[in-house]
Amino acid sequence: MPSGLFVGLATLDLLYRLDALPQENQKIVARESAIAAGGPATNAAVTFAHLGNSATLLSAVGTHAIAHLIRADLEQHHVQLIDLTPDRTDSPAVSSILVTASGDRSVVSINAVQRQVNADALQMNWLDEVDVVLVDGHQMAIGAAIAEAARARSRACGTVSIPVVVDAGSWKVGFEQILSNADYVVCSANFQPPDCHTSEETFEYLAALGVGQMAITQGDRRFCGAIDRQVARLLSRQLMQLIHRQRVTSFMALSATFCLSPVLSRR
């Protein structure tokens, strides 16, 4: 069974499905609502586990009552949690997510800006028996350390033994430290590195850092990317299975299947 380590954000997501987004000072009633653990790394871990793989999430959660809801949801979806802040008693991040019938969404969250963990928290055994790593950049220091350690193990083996996948939803200061050790990068259309204003410029920036496989999602349109045919076939097959399932958006599915592609391609 492939094993993945997912490094980054864990939130409690409050999700509402609406006919249309509310206007200023308007109160509306949602068609549906749900509460779930969320965040890019968390969503990818849940999706990866849903595909029958072993998923471990490395994130800052703590012991607050809201943290227990995050833990319960992860347990329900068979995701193991390594808590970077096990003694923190304040609330983890909470996100409010409004989703319309067309699939458009609006998100309000403070992310992990108040829960950053230093790189000295890294334990090398976290990478033992791991087949692939995904980093979302919300824990920049520890994410960069994990990516660098995974790349170092690959160099020691003379091959890409632990591929590093980056879920790049938006540019964050210091992201180049992670991207320089990435093998696969999946970006949202909103991801714009410094001085990059088009998809082509983003691809050029990533290629200059040594990234070999990359893609950009474009909402409900076909993703664009610089990926080889074998990876493209694997992505297409997995995306077809996932894209319309509950809690799985195109970006989440692409992130998780990017994790699977380097593992499955070795079989």
Question: Given a cut of 70, is residue 230 above it in pLDDT?
Answer: no
Taking the CA of residue 6 as centre, how many other CA atoms within 13 Å lie in the half-sphere pointing to its CB? 33
Which residue blocks in 77-210 are alpha helix, DSSP H?
140-157, 175-179, 199-208
Closest by alpha carbon to 251, among 211, 223, 214?
Answer: 223
For helices 40-50 and 65-76, give the axis angle rounded to 10 degrees.
30
Q: For 177-225, how does the pLDDT look when each residue is reduced to its tens digit (9 = 90+)?
A: 999 999 888 888 889 999 999 888 999 999 999 988 888 876 655 556 5
d(CA 184, CA 258) in angstroms, rounded, equals: 7
Q: What is the pLDDT of residue 256?
A: 54
- Nearby residues of 27 by Cβ (< 8 Å), 6 or more positions away: none
Question: Given a cut of 50, is residue 267 above it in pLDDT?
Answer: no
Band the pLDDT of 102: cuts 50, 70, 90: confident
Mean pLDDT of the residues in the chain: 82
Question: Given a cut of 70, is residue 91 above it in pLDDT?
Answer: yes
Rounded to the nearest 5°, which phi and psi values hold at 56? -120, 130
Q: For 240-257, how does the pLDDT look when each residue is reduced to its tens digit (9 = 90+)?
A: 444 344 444 444 545 555
Residue written as token pair 């800052």: 60
* 3-state secondary structure labels for all residues of 46-109: HHHHHCCCEEEEEECCCCCHHHHHHHHHHHHCCEEEEECCCCCCCCCCEEEEEEECCCCEEEEC
Taking the CA of residue 201 as centre, how many other CA atoms within 13 Å lie in the half-sphere pointing to its CB? 10
- Nearby residues of 155 by Cβ (< 8 Å), 6 or more positions away: none
Lowest average pLDDT, out of 103-117, 123-137, 174-188, 235-249, goes to 235-249
Q: What is the pLDDT of residue 146?
A: 94
Contact (CB, 8 A) for 61 and 41: no
3-264 topology per CATH: UDP-N-acetylmuramoyl-L-alanine:D-glutamate ligase (3.40.1190)
Q: What is the pLDDT of residue 110?
A: 84
d(CA 119, CA 174) in angstroms, rounded, equals: 13
Domain boundaries along the sequence of the chain: 3-264
